[in-house]
Amino acid sequence: MTNGKVKASSTSRADKQQRLIRTILVPVDFSDCSLAGLKYAVTFAKEVRGRIIALHVTDLGPVMMTTGCGEYYLPKYMQAARRRCDDEMRNFLKRVNLDGVRVDRLSVAGYCPAAIYEAAAREAVDLIIISTHGRTGLGRALLGSVAEGTVRHATCPVLVVPSSMGVRESAPSKNASSKGLRSRATISSARSR
């Protein structure tokens, strides 16, 4: 073997190690909170040369409560929700500088957070980046935590990005971090539980 061949094989091995994260699922609800999560995910994906799947879940919880049944096949409701979601997703993605990162769109109907971790498994994603509204107390107890449910049940690592202003203001600046990716984010893996 020549030095050139040894170098080439060690370079490709290093490239494979760096590319452990190729596909990132980013749940969005079109709020400013999920916008912050998507912006973070774009920066992250650019660094690891990954692609993003922006996922919107049409939560059928309210429909199920008013109809009194657990039927997810509601054709008229689903068609209207899908049209609305497609339009909102296009407009939402226009608010972000994607900086050359590939972003695919996905919309599903179901119940959060189950629809998120089920989509992650179906799409074989390597990482979920989800933002949190940071609700506490009664708001969290009544509404639950989609981020927490996703962390508990996802089979891939989950990075939780806080989006409340107080947390964002206390996060290190881009200049103080390595390529802007350090923040007060929590990484959890199903394997570590």
Q: What is the 3-state secondary structure (H, E, C) of 42-111?
A: HHHHHHHCCEEEEEEEEECHHHHHHHCCCCCCCHHHHHHHHHHHHHHHHHHHHCCCCCCCCEEEEEEEEC
Residue 8 pLDDT more than 60? no
Confidence of residue 76 (pLDDT cuts 50, 70, 90): confident
C-alpha to C-alpha distance for 49 and 21, rounded to whole angstroms: 8
C-alpha to C-alpha distance for 2 and 133, rounded to whole angstroms: 55
Residue-wise pLDDT tens digits, 128-145: 999 987 666 655 554 458
Residue-wise pLDDT tens digits, 17-66: 556 899 999 999 998 889 999 999 999 999 999 999 999 998 766 555 55
C-alpha to C-alpha distance for 153 and 175, rounded to whole angstroms: 35
Distance of CA 192 to the CA centre of its chain: 19
Q: What is the pTM of this model?
A: 0.71
Residue-wise pLDDT tens digits, 154-182: 999 999 988 765 544 544 444 334 444 54
Confidence of residue 82 (pLDDT cuts 50, 70, 90): confident
C-alpha to C-alpha distance for 53 and 38, rounded to whole angstroms: 10
pLDDT value, residue 133: 75
